[in-house]
Chains A and B, each alone.
Chain A
Amino acid sequence: MSITYEVLFEAASPGGSSCLTSVTELAPAGGWHTSVAPAKFAARRESNSQAGVYAWERRFVDGELAHAVVIDSKQSQLNRAEAALAAAVEDGHGLLSRLPRVTVTYKRNGHVERYSDLTLPHRVFDGHIRAGSVGGVPTTDVAAYRAARDATAGNARALLEMSPVTLVFGGWDASRKSAQGRWRSALVGEIIGVSADTSPNRPRDAERGGARVDPVGMQIQVDGPTITALADAQKSELSPATHARIVKEAKSKPQEPRSASVLGLGGVPPSLSQLAGVACRRIIRSHVLSFAALRQMRFGAGAEGDAACRALLAALALNGLVRSDAELYLRANCDLVEDGPTKVTVDRRGGQVEELKPLSIGEADELLAVALARAEALADVRWQGAVLEVMGNPAIVAGAEETEDAQ
């Protein structure tokens, strides 16, 4: 059976399914003999590791306890779904361009930078939106934005028509003094790699070497005046703080030779300072779309209209999911391929499970189009693209430059 609008509408209605699950077996693009680079995290403070760590966890796989590594976390998988939707909007996709959203525009060094609730970490509640202004009025004073912040489970219409991605991918108006918007992500998922090493101990993160060869010379030493001249010549490429630091250090014992590595000259000797990839015997991508989470939202449209709104959100979630699932380059040294068909299921009453045919991108677009048309008809939903265009606070990007310099 296919994922039709009727399936979504029924799931979004009282008594509907709890959730839809989508599971795909993946494989390293280079073959099982190659390793993949999982998501990397900062080591715990008591560890002296500069290389970072992988997130190893114990997982039950086919009933056996195994060591598994998080290749892509829940946060990252949601970001990829959002990025896929954002890319479609950017490309002028006919349907997705109608997705309501909030944009933030900054002008920095003569360039225009544009962000939206699809790309900002905290979606419609992000500080870049709250700190900006609309037509000279602080965003937080704009009636439509306040209505979105005031949205509740009892009536989330304002959010549906300003930032539906916040309802799908989650959001928390964490700094608000009261009446905080708290929206769980209805879509959640991850990619894990089951370690090829089946010994009882957790696999150790192997390290790999890194080096840089400079064919001119592995060590390039220059005196103070020379390095000052080099820095001055590259001043436009360096941050002000870096240039100032080089010049200041050059003045101390100017005749003494010093390394020019600060300007990218000379080689870096090999050292084991980076994490190597992980060999896996299985790679599993799993997602869950919670209809129960969507059923905890109303939109002031009556029972049928509210169900149509929830089905619309479900269709949006599936559209983002299908688009992001199609892109399996996760990061350097982590190219994956599908190793089998995606298995999609929904739960039915009495513990029964029904299998559904997975969607293609085209089918997901058609489904979203139908869902939007039904929501328009049954709930008077209006999706007409960007709803709020915020001008970012210029002092904030100036602060961002200073922070990069300090780093």
Chain B
Amino acid sequence: MTGGGFAMVAELPLGVYRGHVGGGDLDVVPSPARLHAALWCAAAQGVRAVTRGDQLTPCEQDLRGLEWVEANPPDGIRLPRYAISAEVGTAYRKEGQLVREQSRWVDKVGARPVGAAVAVDGPFAWTWQVQPPAEVRQSLEDLCRDVSHLGMAETPVRLRVAELAEVGEPTHLRDPDADLFTGAGLDLDVPQPGRGTALEQAYRATASRPPASKDRHSGSEETVRSPAVTAAVAPARYAPPAVEEPALPWVSVMLAAMDRPVKGDWRVGWCVAAHRALISLVGDGAPASLTGAYPDGTHRPANRVALQILDRTVGFAGMTDAPATLAVLVPRGLAATDLTVISTALGRLATIRRGKQALRLVGEPVLVPADRLWPAVPAGHTRRWRTATAFVPDTRPPRGAWSLADAAALSVGMVWRDLLGARGRGETFYRQLAADATARGVQANVERVTDGDPMRFVHKVNTGHMVAPLRATLSLGSLAGPRSVVALGQSRHLGGGLLVPVDEPGDVEPVPLFAAGGAAVRL
């Protein structure tokens, strides 16, 4: 037995995987159970099979190999880059059955969906951290060559055994303790001990030859399908290796390109429209992390899913040629089920309508980490932040001394309040939160927005509350890294208060133009 792990690698010569699960849904990743079934088929029907009675059956060596796979599901799976194509149409094909319909003979025509497939840019691999016994490995090596397809006949395959080191790290690891009702990852069927026996028994149960009288053509003939064999198979969770979330309010960003630019002043309005459209696509039971409607008595987190619009004035990770990009900010600690629901809705969102205007989303959404959205700080520069869209302070100014800079610090503090462990309400709390932010290096130059309708920067206003939007240039001190995405203010979840980087040369020290006495300084 050699050290290190091993893998079974499936190359798809046609670059496409087509398979179905359940009620005909597209299978995206061939499961370990499907791999085992393909190996079993090769063992039971291929050149290595032996005859028992009048039937072929796996030889003893292959039986031991297959039983090893049943007792040892893969520890990991390595997925290639893949892209899913949805069903686009229907192919009508004769089914080779002649039936009588209303006293006429009809050549039955069936409908098959067309287009649904998974394109791959490399092989699938199932990985094990340990080597099997030598004879098991040999049997699997020999069996792999006799596996002809995975899934449908349109997916011929070249299957082989390889060393784990050659294949590379798995993209997904099996979590034996996973709760299959929560969390994210791939839920794939794995074979259990006895799976091969169950497959063989199911095959034999339908192998008896019918008598001639039952074999004749009938005007009511129809396709007879064997039921799926569900014995000795169980779901297992394969999840990407856990990555520690950065200590940021938002941890990742989903980006979807748009077909038209959006003026800064109108971004809140368009984000409100996009928000409405996403909720509509999710349907009943849309999560509070998206809607913002938390039940009374539940903890309302500092941040939830936020929608922002990025333009091309500052480059960002994932930027395309599109004139604008819808950014969906994923908050720290978002439940995996919420993320799945929201990302699925984003994938389906094609058009955002606002009155008589419409914006189309183009291309495929992408995901980037929130701590690396913005480009790196150029050498010799220091980075500050400016509000791309004005922000509206989270609260009314408390009584007493309170500056615009304090309001900005409070807004920063409100975004970070969960990470700072701050809880409370009222003026004392707000002053403390602003002070905490300032203590961590938050500094702001703030000015009021005096032009145009202030209402364009909010999505809703409490009665009697005056809307006083602000623009700011600020430092975030130790709270955020230089590439992190942050938004401030009441409307930070709906297009307001997005901070974009401003880089200033750090190697130049400005001096007063006029020295004491009024003479101009010579450089």
The interface of chain A, by Cβ under 8 A from chain B, is 13-19, 21, 41-44, 52-60, 63, 65, 70, 73-75, 120-123, 125-128, 130-131, 138-141, 146, 149-150, 152-154, 170, 174-180, 184-186, 188-190, 199-201, 286, 288, 290, 292-293, 295-298, 303, 306, 347, 351, 393, 395-396, 398-400, 402-403
Q: Is the CB of B146 within 8 A of A296?
A: yes
Q: Is the CB of A60 within 8 A of B156?
A: no
User: Which of B46, B56, B156, B212 interacts with A146 by CB under 8 Å?
Assistant: B212
Q: Is the CB of A176 within 8 A of B147?
A: no
User: Which of A14, A139, A403 interacts with B106 by CB under 8 Å?
Assistant: A403
How many B residues touch A, CB cutoff 8 Å?
77
Scoring B residues 194 to 232 as 1 if CB is less than 8 Å from chain A, else 0, what string do you get?
A: 000000000000111110101111000111100000000
Report, nearest first, the 5 A-B pairs whose CB atoms are least far apart. Answer: A122-B96, A200-B363, A399-B105, A41-B89, A127-B98
Candidate in B142, B160, B257 with the most chain A CB atoms within 10 angstroms = B160
Question: Please, which residue of chain A has its CB at the minimum distance from the CB of B100?
Answer: A399
Q: Is the CB of B96 within 8 A of A121?
A: yes
Contact A154:B221 (CB < 8 A) given known A57-B115, A75-B93, A179-B210: no
Within the complex, the shortest CB–CB distance from B217 to chain A, in Å, comes to: 4
User: Which of B120, B142, B320 interacts with A60 by CB under 8 Å?
Assistant: B120
Q: Is the CB of A178 within 8 A of B206?
A: yes
Contact A63:B121 (CB < 8 A) given known A138-B216, A201-B362: yes
Q: Is the CB of B54 within 8 A of A122?
A: no
A-B contact pairs, 5 of them (CB 8 A): A15-B142, A19-B158, A58-B85, A65-B119, A131-B217
Q: Is the CB of B217 within 8 A of A138?
A: yes
Q: Is the CB of A188 within 8 A of B153?
A: yes
User: Which of A73, A140, A185 interacts with B215 by CB under 8 Å?
Assistant: A140
Contact A52:B148 (CB < 8 A) given known A140-B212, A399-B106: no
Q: Is the CB of A200 within 8 A of B96?
A: no
Q: Is B419 in the interface zone, CB < 8 Å from A?
A: no
Give bound CA distance, A150 to B104, whole Å: 30
User: Which of B85, B157, B209 interacts with A150 by CB under 8 Å?
Assistant: B209
Give bound CA distance, A298 to B320, whole Å: 56
Contact A41:B91 (CB < 8 A) given known A65-B83, A286-B13: yes
Question: Please, which residue of chain B has its CB at the minimum distance from the CB of A42?
Answer: B90
Q: Is the CB of B121 within 8 A of A153?
A: no
Give bound CA distance, A176 to B115, whole Å: 29
Q: Is the CB of B148 within 8 A of A292?
A: yes
Complex interface: chain A residues within 8 A of B87 (CB): 44
Q: Is B169 in the interface zone, CB < 8 Å from A?
A: no
Contact A127:B115 (CB < 8 A) given known A56-B85, A180-B206, A403-B104: no
Q: Is the CB of A296 within 8 A of B221?
A: no
User: Which of A52, A58, A292 interacts with B146 by CB under 8 Å?
Assistant: A292
Complex interface: chain A residues within 8 A of B91 (CB): 41-42, 73, 75
Within the complex, the shortest CB–CB distance from B80 to chain A, in Å, comes to: 9
User: Which of B83, B93, B207 interacts with A121 by CB under 8 Å?
Assistant: B93
List CB contacts (< 8 Å) of B127-142 with chain A.
Answer: 142
Question: Please, which residue of chain B has its CB at the minimum distance from the CB of A177?
Answer: B210
Scoring B residues 22 to 62 as 1 if CB is less than 8 Å from chain A, else 0, what string do you get?
A: 00000000000000000001100111110100111000000
Within the complex, the shortest CB–CB distance from B118 to chain A, in Å, comes to: 9
Give bound CA distance, A19 to B257, whole Å: 42
Within the complex, the shortest CB–CB distance from A15 to chain B, in Å, comes to: 7
Complex interface: chain A residues within 8 A of B221 (CB): 127, 175
User: Which of A53, A185, A400 interacts with B88 by CB under 8 Å?
Assistant: A53
Q: Is the CB of A154 within 8 A of B51?
A: yes
Within the complex, the shortest CB–CB distance from A166 to chain B, in Å, comes to: 11
Within the complex, the shortest CB–CB distance from A397 to chain B, in Å, comes to: 8
Give bound CA distance, A298 to B224, whole Å: 26
Q: Is the CB of B158 within 8 A of A141?
A: no
Q: Is the CB of B105 within 8 A of A179?
A: no
Complex interface: chain A residues within 8 A of B158 (CB): 18-19, 347
Give bound CA distance, A347 to B15, whole Å: 16
Known: A58-B119, A303-B47; 15 extra A-B contacts, CB below 8 A, are A14-B48, A41-B89, A41-B114, A52-B89, A74-B153, A127-B96, A127-B217, A178-B210, A199-B362, A200-B362, A201-B363, A288-B156, A293-B156, A351-B162, A403-B104
Complex interface: chain B residues within 8 A of A13 (CB): 47
Q: Is the CB of B13 within 8 A of A288?
A: yes
List CB contacts (< 8 Å) of B90-125 with chain A.
Answer: 90-98, 100, 104-108, 111, 114-115, 117, 119-121
Complex interface: chain B residues within 8 A of A174 (CB): 95-97, 223-224
Q: Is B434 in the interface zone, CB < 8 Å from A?
A: no
Question: Please, which residue of chain A has its CB at the minimum distance from the CB of B84?
Answer: A58
The interface of chain B, by Cβ under 8 A from chain A, is 13-16, 41-42, 45-49, 51, 54-56, 81, 83-85, 87-98, 100, 104-108, 111, 114-115, 117, 119-121, 142, 145-149, 153-154, 156-160, 162, 206-210, 212, 214-217, 221-224, 257, 320, 362-364
Q: Is the CB of B145 within 8 A of A15?
A: yes
Give bound CA distance, A153 to B40, whole Å: 14
Q: Is the CB of B46 within 8 A of A295?
A: yes
Complex interface: chain B residues within 8 A of A200 (CB): 257, 320, 362-364
Q: Is the CB of B88 within 8 A of A44?
A: yes
Complex interface: chain A residues within 8 A of B157 (CB): 18
Contact A296:B149 (CB < 8 A) given known A19-B158, A174-B223: no
Candidate in A58, A189, A351 with the most chain B CB atoms within 10 angstroms = A58
Q: Is the CB of B215 within 8 A of A149?
A: yes
Within the complex, the shortest CB–CB distance from B210 to chain A, in Å, comes to: 5
Q: Is the CB of A290 within 8 A of B149?
A: yes
Contact A188:B156 (CB < 8 A) given known A21-B13, A127-B107, A292-B148: yes
Within the complex, the shortest CB–CB distance from B444 to chain A, in Å, comes to: 38
Within the complex, the shortest CB–CB distance from B98 to chain A, in Å, comes to: 4
Contact A128:B98 (CB < 8 A) given known A60-B81, A288-B156: yes
Give bound CA distance, A400 to B104, whole Å: 8
Complex interface: chain B residues within 8 A of A75 (CB): 91, 93
Give bound CA distance, A403 to B102, whole Å: 11
Within the complex, the shortest CB–CB distance from A194 to chain B, in Å, comes to: 12
Complex interface: chain A residues within 8 A of B105 (CB): 393, 395-396, 398-400
Q: Is the CB of B215 within 8 A of A120?
A: no
Within the complex, the shortest CB–CB distance from A280 to chain B, in Å, comes to: 17
Q: Is the CB of B51 within 8 A of A296?
A: no
Give bound CA distance, A52 to B156, whole Å: 29
User: Which of A42, A74, A175 interacts with B92 by CB under 8 Å?
Assistant: A42
Q: Is the CB of B149 within 8 A of A293?
A: yes
Q: Is the CB of A127 within 8 A of B15?
A: no
Give bound CA distance, A306 to B221, whole Å: 35
Give bound CA distance, A47 to B442, whole Å: 55
Q: Is the CB of B89 within 8 A of A53?
A: yes
Q: Is the CB of B92 within 8 A of A296?
A: no
Within the complex, the shortest CB–CB distance from A351 to chain B, in Å, comes to: 7
Q: Is the CB of B210 within 8 A of A176?
A: yes
Complex interface: chain B residues within 8 A of A55 (CB): 88-89, 114-115
User: Which of A15, A43, A60, A152 interacts with B15 by CB under 8 Å?
Assistant: A60
Complex interface: chain A residues within 8 A of B145 (CB): 15-18, 292
Complex interface: chain A residues within 8 A of B206 (CB): 178-180
Complex interface: chain B residues within 8 A of A292 (CB): 42, 46, 145-148, 156
Within the complex, the shortest CB–CB distance from B429 to chain A, in Å, comes to: 47
Complex interface: chain A residues within 8 A of B13 (CB): 19, 21, 286, 288
Candidate in A44, A70, A185 with the most chain B CB atoms within 10 angstroms = A44
Give bound CA distance, A201 to B214, whole Å: 54
Complex interface: chain A residues within 8 A of B107 (CB): 127, 400
Give bound CA distance, A3 to B237, whole Å: 45
Question: Please, which residue of chain B has its CB at the minimum distance from the CB of A49?
Answer: B89
Complex interface: chain A residues within 8 A of B117 (CB): 57
Complex interface: chain A residues within 8 A of B363 (CB): 199-201
Complex interface: chain B residues within 8 A of A41 (CB): 88-91, 114
Within the complex, the shortest CB–CB distance from A266 to chain B, in Å, comes to: 31
Candidate in B13, B87, B97, B363 with the most chain A CB atoms within 10 angstroms = B13
Q: Is the CB of B89 within 8 A of A286?
A: no
Give bound CA distance, A201 to B257, whole Å: 10
